[in-house]
Amino acid sequence: MSTDSRAPEGLPIDGALRATAEGWSFPARSPSTGELLWDVPDAGLADVHAAAEAAWVAHRATTWSTDTGLRIDTLGRLKDALLDAADDLAELVAVETGVPVSLRAAHVDAPIAELPTRPTRRKEGVTVVVTPATSPLAVALEEVSRVLVAGGTIVLKPAPEAAGAALELGRIASLHLPRGVFNVVSTRDVDVAIALTRDRRIDEVSFTGSAHAGDRVKVAAGQAGKHVRLDVGGPLTIRAADDADLAAVVSAAAVTVAANAGQACRLPATVLVPPHRYMEALAAAIDAMEEVVVGDPTDPATLCGPLRSGVARDRVRRYVELARREGGDIALGGSTLDRNGWWFAPTVVGGLDPQSRLVREEVLGPLLMVVPDSRRGSSGRA
């Protein structure tokens, strides 16, 4: 699959691939090398209005929302087409966003396999689905299938860093679903995206991403009278029991956080350990992180690829600097890697307080915090 063959051909709107009304585009760059991959259509207001109109007409003026047999039949064909395209989709996601192909089961294969093929009693309307760059296909397929099987129609707005995968999903869908049922618009313009969520033809907005962006979407869409579904993730903290197999607990957390360079929601980024076992836990974390294979995301041996963008890499770097200011000990890693692209070394941070910002906030990088649980005494009792 060549780079040229992955280049988006247009915006999938109303069953066809369209050039943007203004002819705008933006560059997609390889997170592994920083090099230009292809140009992505950059939708403007005219494009998102066209997508909203197509979805509205498909829902209100066709039998899509009422013909259960039609939906199940066409969704079954879409599922088969996506299964056939799974290898190419896994490679596309790896090249575009750095999600290693070794993780394709969770990011590509399972989301396709779980596409529903049975009717539901729920009813859905016209929905805007806004997806993140961290797991572009998995989130999109989960939300899109939820809406489509219930008779709803879609305008999918992906994160700019993951637009190629969403546009390819839309292209495949346009070959199997009735026109207007599934539309995709990619844009870098936040105001254009907000205008889409406020469009009079939209019934619901489903947003997955950062809390900051989610708040803006919630306010804008809520003021326009839309139903809003938000999933803004957040970090997880694991509290290891006094008698836990500490090496197993810490190692599992380290591998989970290192996978896809920590770019996922609800990762176990912090392990709280009994104070008297802190050094044991820190050593286990270092050992586990040192075993992580960092490299080309298209290599099946790779677990930890690059960050999805320079902005994402710099965000992780700022959190490491914050850890130092908060008294943390950078026990392993803590720096960018000396290679082209947006790489950060798998990192272990010790010595932080359970109330530190790194523990409370979502870092979205390959960082594991090992923290002595101050609520337990040195004897290890809770």
Give me the pLDDT at residue 245, please: 94
Average confidence (pLDDT) over 177-185: 97
Average confidence (pLDDT) over 208-216: 83
Here the CATH number for the domain that contains residue 280 is 3.40.309.10
CA distance linking residue 252 with residue 244, whole number of Å:
13
In the predicted model, what is the mean pLDDT of the chain?
93
Q: Tell me how far the alpha carbon of residue 57 is from its chain's centroid.
A: 29
Is the pLDDT at 375 greater than 60, yes or no? yes
Same domain, 50 and 121: yes
**Greater confidence, 217 or 27?**
27
Average confidence (pLDDT) over 72-93: 96
Query: What's the predicted TM-score (pTM) here?
Result: 0.92
Give me the pLDDT at residue 73, please: 95
Point out the domain boundary residue: 183, 212, 232: 232
Same domain, 227 and 284: no
Same domain, 159 and 47: yes
pLDDT digit string, tens, across residues 38-70: 999 999 999 999 999 999 999 999 999 999 999
Same domain, 225 and 262: no
Give me the pLDDT at residue 266, please: 85
Give me the pLDDT at residue 381, please: 37
Average confidence (pLDDT) over 260-272: 92
Residue 263 included in any domain:
yes
Average confidence (pLDDT) over 296-302: 97
Same domain, 285 and 326: yes
Q: Which residue has the tokens 């962006």?
A: 213
Nearest to 150 by CA among 123, 125, 127: 123
Is the pLDDT at 284 greater than 50, yes or no? yes
Residue 379 included in any domain:
no
Same domain, 85 and 171: yes
Same domain, 64 and 201: yes
Average confidence (pLDDT) over 217-239: 87
Point out the domain boundary residue: 232, 249, 280: 232
131: containing domain: 3-232
pLDDT band at 379 (very low <50, low <70, confident <90, very high): very low
Average confidence (pLDDT) over 365-379: 81
Here the CATH number for the domain that contains residue 128 is 3.40.605.10
Same domain, 258 and 314: yes
Same domain, 63 and 150: yes
Same domain, 85 and 178: yes
Is the pLDDT at 376 greater than 80, yes or no? no
Which positions ≥6 away from 28 have C-beta within 8 Å?
36, 37, 38, 39, 40, 96, 161, 163, 164
